[in-house]
Structure 1
Amino acid sequence: MKKTFRKQVTNLLVINSIMLLCACTNGPSVETNLDKENFDEYFAAGNVTVFQDENELPGKVKFLGLVEGDSCKAKENDIPANAADARTMAREKAASMEANAVVFTSCTPIEDQQCLEMMVCYGKAFQISEH
């Protein structure tokens, strides 16, 4: 009788294990706010190099236009407005102009009716080619 009981328990464990594995194969579904079609745009700023001065720009340089970016502290518990976020936004705008370089001319805090604090950075967007 002990043998039969062990066999039944073993069979039950095997069946339960199989059922558990089958239940896990579907897995949970995960939703994100990332759009697969626009994935490159999320990291566009990383393709734009920041130079301190126009004299540092290597190769053949084409001026594409002016860019600006801002950082806004809209609520009391938000992070402070900062130049890093404002520069990132400006680099994203430069990338949308097909620029691969930017030289920032200034960053300044400004007053805004919708922000408790606001920082704006201004720069020049360039396209650099080696030829």
Structure 2
Amino acid sequence: MTTTAEGPAALRHGRDLVSPELFEKVSEFCAEEYGHELSTARNIVDQALAFLKVMGDARAFDMTPSNTVDPGWHSFALHTTAYAAWCQEQFGYFLHHEPKATVRTRPLIGSVVERIEAAGFYVDGGMWGAAKGCNPPACCGDGDGC
């Protein structure tokens, strides 16, 4: 009798939802526009893409990105042709961005993180203010939830 041990399922990454070329283009824009190191901008865009996929698939317009992740959405949306085509391909509709449409609170961001994780995406807790080792005010920059 042979037994195979199955490891944990590999987590999905937002960066895999677009071509490598588009991912780099948006990440480079995010780095330049928001003054981030390219490696940080790549993490921001990765998290933004995972967020967008979950929100768009579920039509969960009560979701909001953290202040840290939001520039990734802005950077993608400003590449209007690619963003519009991606939205149509992924969801069949254009996913609009309404700045400050939702007040960011710690419970709301926690719920967003849970939904992204439930969809099987890797979540960088530091990008969401949800890292276990995080201390206020660093982890509470997104709202008055602390």
- More helix by percentage: 2
Larger radius of gyration: 1
Highest RCO, 1 vs 2 (Cα 8 Å, sep ≥ 6) = 1
Whether the TM-score (by the shorter chain) exceeds 0.5 is no
- The TM-score bracket by the shorter chain reads under 0.3
